[in-house]
Structure 1
Amino acid sequence: MMDCNDSRALLSGEQLIYAITVPLSTSIILANLVIMLGIAWNRQLHDTPNYFFFSLLVADLCTGVALPFIPLMGLNRELSLSSCLVVHVFPNFLFLAFLFNLVMVHYERYICIVDPLRYSNLWMHRSFPLALLVVWAPPLLYASLPAFGWNNWTGPDWNNCCASSQNTTPLSNCSPNKTTCCSYRRVFPNAFIYLEVYGLVLPAILAIAGMTGRVLCITRGQMKDICRLHRSVERGSQASDREQRLNLRYVRCVVAVSLTFLACWVPYLIYMHVCIVFLISDTKRSSTTHIVLSCSGIGSMAVVPLVLGLSNRQYTAPCCKLLRKLRDRWRRRRQGPEEEVAV
């Protein structure tokens, strides 16, 4: 068994993780349910683009459920091999599935704007089940590689994971083949982490940023064409009120996209590269710093689909109607007793 100091450190780390992630996870789950119900209730939204977005919401919902367990990967716990693989492989699969779904949604909207004539003939429109298989199967296969033998379970004792404290002998149950010490380094080899970060995650984020920037450039060019046609019709050289409103709307869009990237993607990029630096330097991390970075980084990234969904009034219209009905009923019930008192 671990000594009192290690037990208290592990308990305090878990408490900090739950204190940060449980409120954030609850908010993500509820917001996803609201948007998903909005898509399900509105039959006009039952088309392929919204099916892709619904799949993204399902992945985001699962990520919200797994959010409290992802930062726990940074803690050393006493678990068997099968249990250790489950608590590491399954959250990693949900995270990668969320990322693949997010890329697919951005790609589908990118093609809709860049090449609208070819949009309806895309392979993912002709074969929607195949598209779902593309965004769910590869993450599952890659995340399951440690379960098929690509792991460090019989490797060295990283950061004295199996020792009761530093400069002490390992515990009796920490033999190379039958250890109960569960650490992310025992599950994920360095090559696996590098491949996931720089071969999957970072290219996906760069692809999303590139497609978003390209869409903004196309939107800017189309807006200039509209303003030029408007001036030719009006035969004026100065910008009209309509042109100013279009420019203001575009500026708001750019600001919203920039703030979303800064608030949602930058924290995760910082967390990802800090983890890689610690992994390369083989330095023992500060548990508090790692917990705060992991919770804020992964949680902020999970908010991206909610920003896309809540900004669309079609998705939130059913929930708004329900809230208005409840508000009207509450007002009528409140006004009824007041009128009786007045009489």
Structure 2
Amino acid sequence: MDSNDSHSFPLEERLIYSITIPLSTSIILANLVIILGIAWNRQLHNTPNYFFLSLLVADLCTGVALPFVPLMGLHRELSFSSCMVAHIFPNFLFLAFLLNLVMVHYERYICIVNPLHYSNLWMHRNFPLALLIAWVPPLLYASLPSFGWNNWTGPDWHGCCKSMFPNTFIYLEVYGLVLPAILSMAGMTGHVLLITRGQLKDICRLHRSVERGSQASDREQRLNLRYTRCVLAVSLTFLACWVPYLIYMHVCIVFLVSDTKWSSTTHIVLLCTGIGSMAVVPLVLGLANRQFKEPAQKFLQKVRDRWGPGTQGSEEVASRSGSATPAP
């Protein structure tokens, strides 16, 4: 092994850990807060929140596996079984996270588009089957390389398991699974915004007919402003959370097709940024719901109430004792 390569690996590992550890810690802690919020509030124990809870568990596992994903690109000497686990397990967690996210979007989409048939949705009637669909197919697809669909050639002279996934496997996952899932979520979100815009116009039209005025009232302006903020928040969330991963995904495909090498530093930064930003999506959905944040807010309030009066009492005692001491 070349001495320059041996010295570059610790540098790459330090770069990976410096980027992924803060992201992973933030993702894990935020998911734990929302999961505990759902567990402590019995009013949230219903089927829609169980789907969201499954998504949070998948996101939590993704946060745990995040520091190990960029390590797959490093040249390391691994056995066949170790290389399989290092490649298959993170890929399974990512696919399970993505499919759970699609199911949560679909469940909420049906609730808005077709509310009369929402209670008869197959996901509610067959909740265990829906959970199996969210977790088992990703596991089966991610495990295909262990059944022979791989490019295992053994550790080469660099000491790495090169190109575990064949190009056809990568193309199928990117353009047959990942990209359609992202586009379907974007399509459902866009359709919901269009429906909301139509309902907003109907409300404004009824309001004008009741008030018999041709100009927009303050209430209509507030509704339009609220809708504009909603569209802006959704757009910024998509740009911040999905665009970095889409860029990384297509850059990888371009380099894979051209069969050229690229900077490991660039690869690490794009990979960590893409996966980290994507894992923030469930946190945005969860923290936007006040019910999920109430238990954490109550807990913090109890801590403040417990320690606040004591601190104030000690300050009052100190001030009284100070005022009681005679001046020299």
TM interval, shorter chain, is over 0.9
Match of 1:189 in 2: 166
Q: Is the 8 A contact 1:90 1:143 kept in 2?
A: yes
CA distance in 2, matches of 1:30, 1:196: 29
Deviation, 1:163, is: 2.8
Residues 53-100 of structure 1: CA deviation (Å, up to 9, x unaligned): 000000000000000111112212110000000000000000000000
| Structure 2 letter corresponding to 1:247 | N
CA distance in 2, matches of 1:201, 1:76: 26
CA distance in 2, matches of 1:215, 1:5: 54
Alignment RMSD:
1.1
| Structure 2 letter corresponding to 1:8 | H
Match of 2:204 in 1: 227
Counterpart of 1:340 (choices 317, 321, 324) is 317
Residues 157-210 of structure 1: CA deviation (Å, up to 9, x unaligned): xxxx7235xxxxxxxxxxxxxxx6323x1x100000000000000000000000
SS of match in other structure, 2:67: helix
Match of 1:147 in 2: 146
Within 5 Å, give how 1:60-209 maps onto structure 2: 60-154=59-153, 162-164=156-158, 181-183=160-162, 185=163, 187-209=164-186
Query: After TM superposition, what 4+ stretches of structure 1 lie above 3 angstroms from structure 2?
Result: none
| Structure 2 letter corresponding to 1:225 | D
Deviation, 1:7, is: 1.4
Deviation, 1:152, is: 0.7
Deviation larger for 292-301 or 4-13: 4-13
Within 5 Å, give how 1:47-58 maps onto structure 2: 47-58=46-57
Is residue 254 from structure 1 mapped to residue 256 from structure 2 by the alignment? no
Q: Is the 8 A contact 1:56 1:101 kept in 2?
A: yes
SS of match in other structure, 1:79: coil
Match of 1:272 in 2: 249
Residues 202-228 of structure 1: CA deviation (Å, up to 9, x unaligned): 000000000000000000001111111
Residues 242-272 of structure 1: CA deviation (Å, up to 9, x unaligned): 1111111100000000000000000000000
Match of 1:283 in 2: 260
Q: Is the 8 A contact 2:74 2:160 kept in 1?
A: no
CA distance in 2, matches of 1:230, 1:21: 51
Match of 1:311 in 2: 288
CA distance in 2, matches of 1:204, 1:295: 20
CA distance in 2, matches of 1:278, 1:76: 18
CA distance in 2, matches of 1:193, 1:9: 27
Deviation, 1:10, is: 1.4
| Structure 1 letter corresponding to 2:224 | N
Match of 1:167 in 2: none
Is residue 237 from structure 1 mapped to residue 225 from structure 2 by the alignment? no
CA distance in 2, matches of 1:309, 1:181: 40
CA distance in 2, matches of 1:188, 1:15: 26
Match of 2:275 in 1: 298
Q: Is the 8 A contact 2:242 2:277 kept in 1?
A: yes
SS of match in other structure, 1:181: coil
Deviation, 1:8, is: 1.4
Match of 1:169 in 2: none
Deviation, 1:327, is: 1.7
Q: Is the 8 A contact 1:106 1:211 kept in 2?
A: yes
Deviation, 1:126, is: 0.2
Gaps of 5+ in 2: 321-328
| Structure 2 letter corresponding to 1:163 | W
SS of match in other structure, 2:153: coil
Gaps of 5+ in 1: 156-160, 165-179
Match of 2:325 in 1: none
Deviation, 1:334, is: 1.2
| Structure 2 letter corresponding to 1:99 | L
| Structure 2 letter corresponding to 1:255 | L
SS of match in other structure, 1:133: helix
Deviation, 1:6, is: 1.3
Q: Is the 8 A contact 1:80 1:181 kept in 2?
A: no
CA distance in 1, matches of 2:30, 2:279: 11
| Structure 1 letter corresponding to 2:129 | L
Q: Is the 8 A contact 2:51 2:104 kept in 1?
A: yes
| Structure 2 letter corresponding to 1:181 | C
SS of match in other structure, 2:242: helix
CA distance in 1, matches of 2:216, 2:189: 27
Deviation, 1:329, is: 2.2
